[in-house]
Amino acid sequence: MASLTQEQLEQFRREGYLLAAGLLDPAEDLDPVYHEYAGVLDDLAKLLYDKGEISSTYADLPFSQRLIQIYKESGKVHAQYFDFTLHGADVSDETAFWVGPEVFNLLRNQRLLDAVECLIGPEIYSNPVQHIRLKPPEQFTPKDAEGRLQLGKTPPHQDNGVVTPDADETEMLTVWFPLWDATVENGCLMIWPNSKQQGLLAHCPAYDGLQIPAKMVRGQPLSMPMKRGDVLFLHRLTMHASHSNVSEHVRWSFDLRYNPIGQPTGRGHFPGFVARSRQHPETELRDPVEWAKLWTDTRHQLAHKLKEPAFNRWSADSPVCA
């Protein structure tokens, strides 16, 4: 089972990050997800075409070019349509999201969980702070009414800073990997080694999410270009961001979290599940249909009665954010 070496484990504990090259098999682990999402994009294209928001479904284009063209012509980044989580604001019973079986299989990928086990132990919970990121080139990305990109580079932040305070001591592990090669040009991640030593920093509200104020960002970042199959593990306090996508292609990645079973997830109103348990394997969730139902039920609750708790503990008018 030991998929990570002692040297790799020591690097993670010391520097707060680990790039495991070739951990996943591109054909076996990633291609099924690509094909599933090709169907999701097909459904979106047909929906927008039927509504008259695009003039063609662009079925003859490759995935990346098709997504770019649909976003450009519709004037909107349809990120929620592809994501396997929800955003509490304005959720309705019709809010789109994707919780397909191949996504579920990737969350439970045994190669991935073997490495996660090396880092946080054998009782593994799939934390619902999770996203798929389909970032189009900024030159083709639609803008909002104020002229700002609807989806651009990710500002410096720590993943501990975007969860509720009850998860501050949770051994939350970030697992990030690209579905296609991630390069500096198309917006790969950059990390600040050893930044976890600073503890939890302030995260100020901005139009594109929460971010650490520039005056608190110390040192120089390290760019992390990655190949298909590479996996990046981050400590919850490791500061990271992304480059701008200045290429002509979509940067496509998964952004997952895991933590030991029983620890708060920082999104208590969202459904996680037991991904691996050596002590009680019967508690593992193995049915993708059941997983999808957990999210559908949560969507209904958010739409009708459940108020999503605030997770930002810093106000935009606080002195640190001035």
Could you read off the pLDDT of 131-171 as tens digits, one per residue?
999 999 999 999 998 889 999 999 999 999 999 999 999 99
Is 230 in contact with 21 (CB distance < 8 Å)?
yes
Q: What is the pLDDT of residue 60?
A: 97
Least confident of 115-124, 190-199, 206-215: 206-215
Q: What is the mean pLDDT of residues 77-95?
A: 90
Residue 102: which residues within 8 A CB-CB, separation 6 or more? 32, 33, 35, 36
Q: Is residue 50 part of a domain?
A: no
Q: Give this prediction's pTM.
A: 0.96
* Confidence category of residue 29, pLDDT binned at 50, 70, 90: very high
Q: Is 147 inside any structural domain?
A: yes
| Mean pLDDT estimate for the chain | 94
- In angstroms, the CA 101 to CA 246 distance is 32
- CA–CA dist 206, 229 (Å, integer): 33
Count of the separate structural domains present in the chain: 1
Could you tell me which of 107, 102, 85, 90 has the C-alpha nearest to residue 298? 85
Q: Does residue 237 form part of some domain?
A: yes
At residue 226, φ and ψ (nearest 5 deg) are -140, 150
Backbone angles phi, psi at 177, to 5 degrees: -155, 150
Position 192 in a domain: yes
Q: Is 63 domain-assigned? A: no
CATH of the domain at 292: 2.60.120.620
Q: What is the pLDDT of residue 73?
A: 97
User: To the nearest whole percent, how much of the chain has pLDDT over 70?
Assistant: 98
Q: Find the radius of gyration of the CA atoms of the chain.
A: 19
44 within some domain? no
pLDDT tens digit sequence for 306-315: 666 677 788 8
For residues 227, 229, 230, 236, the Cα torsion angle rounded to the nearest 10 degrees is: 130
In angstroms, the CA 195 to CA 197 distance is 5
- Look at residue 320 and tell me whether its pLDDT is greater than 90: no
Full domain range(s) for residue 159: 6-25+80-321
Q: Would 70 be classed as within a structural domain?
A: no
| CB distance 218 to 201 below 8 Å | no
pLDDT of residue 207 exceeding 80, the answer is no
